[in-house]
Amino acid sequence: MWVLTATILGSSLVFIDSSVVSLALPVIQREFVATALEMQWVVEAYTLVLGALMLLCGALGDRYGRKRIFVAGVAIFAAGSVLCGVAPSATLLIAARVLQGVGGTMLAPASLAILGASFSGDARGKAIGTWSGLTSVASAAGPLLGGVVIDHFEWRWAFFINLPLAVAVIAIALVHVPESRDTEATGSLDILGSLSITLGLGLVVYAFVTSGSGGWTAITLATLAAGVAALAIFLRIEAVVKLPILPLHLFASRAFSGLNAMTFLLYGALGGLFYFLPFVLIQVDGMSATQAGFASLPFILLMVLLSRYSGGLVYRLGARTMLTIGPAIAATGFAGFALLPDLHYWTGIFPSIVLFGIGMGLTVAPLTTTLLESVSANHVGLASGINSAVSRIAGLLAIAVLGAMLAFAFSSRLETRMASALLPPAERTAIRAQKAAMAGATLGIARDEAAVKAAYIDAFRAVATACALLAAASALTAAFTLAGKGGKNVAG
- Do 221 and 252 belong to one domain? no
How far is C-alpha 419 from the chain's CA centre? Answer: 37
Please check whether residues 217 and 338 belong to one and the same domain. Answer: no
Closest among 128, 135, 133 to 165, alpha carbons compared: 135
Q: Are residues 235 and 295 in the same domain?
A: no
Identify whether residues 425 and 471 lie together within a single domain.
yes
DSSP category for residue 340: S
Residue 185 belongs to some domain of the structure: no
Model's pTM, two decimal places? 0.86
pLDDT averaged per 10 residues in sequence order, the chain, 492 residues: 83 80 87 86 88 81 84 94 94 94 86 74 66 68 80 87 91 87 72 89 89 82 94 92 85 89 93 89 87 85 80 80 93 92 86 92 84 71 78 89 90 87 84 81 79 90 95 95 65 44
Q: What is the CATH number of the domain that holds 278?
A: 1.20.1250.20
Whether residue 227 is found in the same domain as residue 91: no
Which residues, including other chains, have CB under 8 Å from residue 491's CB and lie 6 or more apart? 250, 252, 253, 255, 256, 374, 375, 376
Q: Is residue 448 part of a domain?
A: yes
Domain identity same for 82 and 142: yes
* Cβ-contact 396, 201 below 8 angstroms: yes
215 lies in a domain? Answer: yes
Host domain of residue 233: 190-242
Q: Which distant-in-sequence residues (6+ apart) come within 8 Å of 386 by Cβ?
A: 55, 246, 250, 260
Q: How far is CA 350 from CA 45, 157, 332, 334, in A?
A: 30, 28, 13, 12
Question: Measured in whole angstroms, how far is the alpha carbon of residue 465 from the centre of its chain?
Answer: 19
Is residue 488 in some structural domain? no
In a domain? residue 296: yes
Is the same domain home to 201 and 321? Answer: no
Contact of 337 with 461, CB cutoff 8 Å:
yes
